[in-house]
Chain A
């Protein structure tokens, strides 16, 4: 069975899966029509696994922002694998490739994409990231998701720097119907966190989600401030924060690796939320981040609606990376043929 057929079959096994795939597909491709026929075309186009195929694969990955190093590594592995198995039937080679691709993502042995919750008392989730990646929006969506699961949720307005940030979180809180702990603009974010953790404990809240101001990772003072916020939370609740989620804009290129590395050093990032995946950007750098730093993606943001936050599924993600990538290549080829 061929690479894409295999992937496709994997998704169409049951209806629920199909719907969720649909959501991904919708998010990952705004322009697609006739899903099945396109996939068939692709499979038809890649009957042969030759150098051209590898080259095209390489370009698709590079254009998805996976990054040179990871792409080169992956290509070497793929070539080796193809050679090692010495498969005559090319469609089998394609299935090897599909497995390998998902494998780079699933290389870590434990299942990391689930959120960790406190055994007792409030679970604290700290949201961090650079400016404009969608931290506050993600918190709104995450709060909705957790509330739907029957948990009581509280928000902490830790971005006391940017104009309007507190109000922005507050509006999300009202939409979802959860309380937001806040102080005035310009106040100490660590003090806000202290208040919020106290409030969450005394009101028996299940999950406290803490917003922080966006900061570029090379601003030493701001990173120190974040460390302080982290420390204050840890002091009030041992083991907290239980999750430190790094919001990463899918549009971001190779700088995302430095972001992940620096934020991990400062706050022990436990997972990534890949936002804005509903555009044309793929955020392929998360493969490299997973590979190098072993930080898993936990959620993806696929739109602006409250329910547009989905748990990350590597298979679907990898599929989306290629289906559309190769699709586009093909389209361009056709365009240039005209």
Chain B
């Protein structure tokens, strides 16, 4: 069962209130129902959803609908902006101690991925921050947990401090910190046992470990698939030991990850890293905006809208449309369009932003050949002004010259000419259709086929 994203959900309500300049209270209320639905399906905690919706509604009512957006898109934009802001705006960096060693504690429920994350984090800190980490095996309860960390240490060629399963975790941590000082290892990462937040005895153990030397970071490791209970878990751990940040794991799955918002709201602690795979290097910094899009299930459509908004000149677009209709679209116009697309960013990134694109098989690794785009440009720039405006005059001789001038082959030139012709035909048809409905069309059909 695939969940619909918020954009799709809002489509129904969107049509009803199209063409209005301002969002009325009733419009917003209706749309907020869909927002509520989408957020709950994304596992955002009900109470968090409620307060969130209240906030967004206040912002949305009476707001002018931007020229280029429909009311629905406008609401999605507000929702996403608010969500992004809530999720932490700026990325936050890890805190290191001024006096060595830096101590980092990893805590969380069973099965959240603490041990794996401990290894990944150590790898990242060594590589990116030039630290010398010591892994500490303080999970003496789960069978073979120590063994797991030792294996990870071996894989990464990092030292692991362990004292077997008979030792007390508090003693292990204390000795590990001493050991790190003696060995001049500047970062101690303590892998604690998974525990339920309601287990008072084990929560006390965490407090005891914390009191050895105030850790510079206490990371709560949370499974991204966590549902409504995320608030209880995060709140309890924060209340008991005061976490400094969150690591969200298993984001390489297909969960929406609404837990991120819940946790962020109740603890107000930043999400610092996300786990994105089983490999030891699959730990990435957290991007609030991407997470917001993910929760709303809409790719990065809004950044795309925003990009298009800032980069496509309205007046020019109108002019173009006119040209489509009258078939006076030339290679010069085409070049201009290419430039606009290029300004929006690398093409494969734009592709990734399209909602649903992540579901298309093979596309996740799709690389758009930017050099192909350069080649097209070169061919056009090798044409004379006359050739650009009336491509029909391009005969075999001219083709040969263009190919030579652009460093391409006659086949390349032929292909571009044919595609340009096809494109013009299609645009004429489409703008004809759009003209009847009175809609603006700015798409470039056939553009994709140019880069394959």
Question: Is A317 part of the contact surface with B, judged by Cβ < 8 Å?
Answer: no
Docked pose: A166 CA to B150 CA in angstroms:
14
Question: Is A242 part of the contact surface with B, judged by Cβ < 8 Å?
Answer: no
CB of A251 within 8 A of CB of B250, answer no
Question: Is A67 part of the contact surface with B, judged by Cβ < 8 Å?
Answer: yes
CB of A171 within 8 A of CB of B109, answer no
Residues of chain B from 24 to 75 with CB closer than 8 A to chain A in the complex: 37, 40-43, 45-46
Q: Spot the interface stretch: A93-101, A187-195, A277-285, A308-316.
A: A277-285
Q: Spot the interface stretch: B227-235, B347-355, B422-430, B434-442.
A: B227-235
Instruction: From known contacts A163-B151, A216-B253, infer whether A64 and B228 are also in contact, taking CB-CB under 8 Å.
Output: yes
Question: Is B152 part of the contact surface with A, judged by Cβ < 8 Å?
Answer: yes
Question: Is B450 part of the contact surface with A, judged by Cβ < 8 Å?
Answer: no
Docked pose: A150 CA to B89 CA in angstroms:
59
Question: Is A164 part of the contact surface with B, judged by Cβ < 8 Å?
Answer: yes
Q: Spot the interface stretch: A83-91, A107-115, A119-127, A130-138.
A: A130-138
Question: Is A299 part of the contact surface with B, judged by Cβ < 8 Å?
Answer: no
Residue among B46, B250, B278 with the highest chain A CB neighbour number at 10 A: B278
Question: Is B162 part of the contact surface with A, judged by Cβ < 8 Å?
Answer: no
CB of A131 within 8 A of CB of B113, answer yes
Docked pose: A162 CA to B111 CA in angstroms:
13
Closest to B36 in A: A68
CB of B151 within 8 A of CB of A216, answer no
Docked pose: A141 CA to B65 CA in angstroms:
59
Docked pose: A167 CA to B2 CA in angstroms:
37
Instruction: From known contacts A132-B223, A253-B43, A255-B254, infer whether A30 and B198 are also in contact, taking CB-CB under 8 Å.
Output: yes
Minimum CB–CB distance from B53 to chain A (whole Å) comes to 14
Closest to A261 in B: B1
Question: Is A227 part of the contact surface with B, judged by Cβ < 8 Å?
Answer: no
Instruction: Please give, as numbers and ranges, the residues of chain A lying within 8 Å of B148 by CB-CB distance.
Output: 162-165, 168
Q: Could you tell me the dominant secondary structure of chain A's interface residues?
A: loop
CB of A132 within 8 A of CB of B110, answer yes
Instruction: From known contacts A132-B223, A164-B151, A279-B196, infer whether A65 and B253 are also in contact, taking CB-CB under 8 Å.
Output: no
Instruction: From known contacts A167-B144, A168-B143, infer whether A254 and B3 are also in contact, taking CB-CB under 8 Å.
Output: yes
Instruction: Please give, as numbers and ranges, the residues of chain B lying within 8 Å of A63 by CB-CB distance.
Output: 45-46, 228
CB of B250 within 8 A of CB of A164, answer no
Instruction: Please give, as numbers and ranges, the residues of chain A lying within 8 Å of B45 by CB-CB distance.
Output: 63
Docked pose: A282 CA to B230 CA in angstroms:
12
Binary per-residue interface labels of chain A (194-219) against chain B in the complex, 1 for a CB within 8 Å, 0 otherwise: 00000000000000000000001111
Docked pose: A278 CA to B145 CA in angstroms:
21
CB of A171 within 8 A of CB of B228, answer no
Binary per-residue interface labels of chain A (47-84) against chain B in the complex, 1 for a CB within 8 Å, 0 otherwise: 00000000000010011110110000000000000000
Instruction: Please give, as numbers and ranges, the residues of chain B lying within 8 Å of A290 by CB-CB distance.
Output: none
Instruction: Please give, as numbers and ranges, the residues of chain B lying within 8 Å of A172 by CB-CB distance.
Output: 143
Instruction: Please give, as numbers and ranges, the residues of chain B lying within 8 Å of A163 by CB-CB distance.
Output: 147-149, 151-152, 155
Kindly identify which residue among A164, A171, A254 contacts B256, using a CB–CB cutoff of 8 Å. A254
Instruction: From known contacts A257-B1, A279-B196, A280-B232, infer whether A62 and B109 are also in contact, taking CB-CB under 8 Å.
Output: no
Instruction: From known contacts A67-B41, A68-B40, A255-B254, infer whether A132 and B111 are also in contact, taking CB-CB under 8 Å.
Output: yes
CB of A253 within 8 A of CB of B147, answer no
Minimum CB–CB distance from B108 to chain A (whole Å) comes to 10
Question: Is A243 part of the contact surface with B, judged by Cβ < 8 Å?
Answer: no
Question: Is A31 part of the contact surface with B, judged by Cβ < 8 Å?
Answer: yes
Question: Is B95 part of the contact surface with A, judged by Cβ < 8 Å?
Answer: no
Q: Indicate the size class of the contact surface on chain A.
A: 35 or more
Docked pose: A276 CA to B112 CA in angstroms:
12
Instruction: From known contacts A131-B113, A251-B229, A255-B253, infer whether A164 and B198 are also in contact, taking CB-CB under 8 Å.
Output: no
Question: Is A183 part of the contact surface with B, judged by Cβ < 8 Å?
Answer: no
Instruction: Please give, as numbers and ranges, the residues of chain B lying within 8 Å of A131 by CB-CB distance.
Output: 111, 113, 250, 278
Instruction: Please give, as numbers and ranges, the residues of chain A lying within 8 Å of B163 by CB-CB distance.
Output: none
Residues of chain B from 138 to 164 with CB closer than 8 A to chain A in the complex: 141-152, 155
Docked pose: A281 CA to B146 CA in angstroms:
28
Minimum CB–CB distance from A321 to chain B (whole Å) comes to 12
Docked pose: A215 CA to B230 CA in angstroms:
22
CB of B258 within 8 A of CB of A253, answer yes
CB of B197 within 8 A of CB of A255, answer no
CB of B198 within 8 A of CB of A276, answer no
Question: Is A235 part of the contact surface with B, judged by Cβ < 8 Å?
Answer: no
Minimum CB–CB distance from B50 to chain A (whole Å) comes to 9
Question: Is B259 part of the contact surface with A, judged by Cβ < 8 Å?
Answer: yes
Instruction: Please give, as numbers and ranges, the residues of chain B lying within 8 Å of A31 by CB-CB distance.
Output: 198
Instruction: From known contacts A167-B144, A167-B147, A172-B143, infer whether A216 and B252 are also in contact, taking CB-CB under 8 Å.
Output: yes
Minimum CB–CB distance from B325 to chain A (whole Å) comes to 45
Docked pose: A193 CA to B154 CA in angstroms:
27
Docked pose: A249 CA to B43 CA in angstroms:
14
Minimum CB–CB distance from B430 to chain A (whole Å) comes to 36
Question: Is B419 part of the contact surface with A, judged by Cβ < 8 Å?
Answer: no
Question: Is A292 part of the contact surface with B, judged by Cβ < 8 Å?
Answer: yes
CB of A280 within 8 A of CB of B254, answer no
Question: Is B226 part of the contact surface with A, judged by Cβ < 8 Å?
Answer: yes
Question: Is B292 part of the contact surface with A, judged by Cβ < 8 Å?
Answer: no
Closest to B37 in A: A68
Instruction: Please give, as numbers and ranges, the residues of chain A lying within 8 Å of B3 by CB-CB distance.
Output: 254
Docked pose: A161 CA to B148 CA in angstroms:
11
Question: Is B225 part of the contact surface with A, judged by Cβ < 8 Å?
Answer: yes
Minimum CB–CB distance from B98 to chain A (whole Å) comes to 34
Minimum CB–CB distance from A254 to chain B (whole Å) comes to 5
Instruction: Please give, as numbers and ranges, the residues of chain A lying within 8 Å of B37 by CB-CB distance.
Output: 68
Minimum CB–CB distance from A235 to chain B (whole Å) comes to 28
Docked pose: A185 CA to B254 CA in angstroms:
27
Docked pose: A151 CA to B181 CA in angstroms:
53
Minimum CB–CB distance from B428 to chain A (whole Å) comes to 42
CB of A249 within 8 A of CB of B228, answer no
Instruction: Please give, as numbers and ranges, the residues of chain A lying within 8 Å of B111 by CB-CB distance.
Output: 131-134, 249, 276
Minimum CB–CB distance from A76 to chain B (whole Å) comes to 15
With A164-B148, A281-B227, A282-B229 known, 11 other A-B pairs at CB within 8 A are A65-B228, A68-B40, A162-B148, A166-B144, A217-B254, A219-B252, A253-B259, A276-B196, A279-B196, A280-B229, A304-B141
Which chain B residues have a beta carbon within 8 Å of chain A's beta carbons?
1-3, 37, 40-43, 45-46, 109-113, 141-152, 155, 196-198, 223, 225-230, 232-233, 250, 252-256, 258-259, 278
10 A-B pairs with the lowest CB-CB distances in the bound complex, closest first: A253-B227, A132-B111, A164-B148, A253-B43, A171-B143, A163-B151, A281-B229, A167-B144, A168-B144, A65-B227
30 contacts between A and B (CB under 8 A): A31-B198, A63-B46, A131-B111, A133-B111, A134-B111, A163-B152, A164-B144, A164-B147, A167-B147, A170-B144, A216-B250, A218-B252, A218-B254, A249-B223, A251-B230, A251-B233, A253-B226, A254-B3, A254-B43, A254-B255, A254-B256, A255-B255, A257-B1, A258-B1, A258-B254, A279-B196, A279-B197, A281-B227, A281-B232, A292-B1
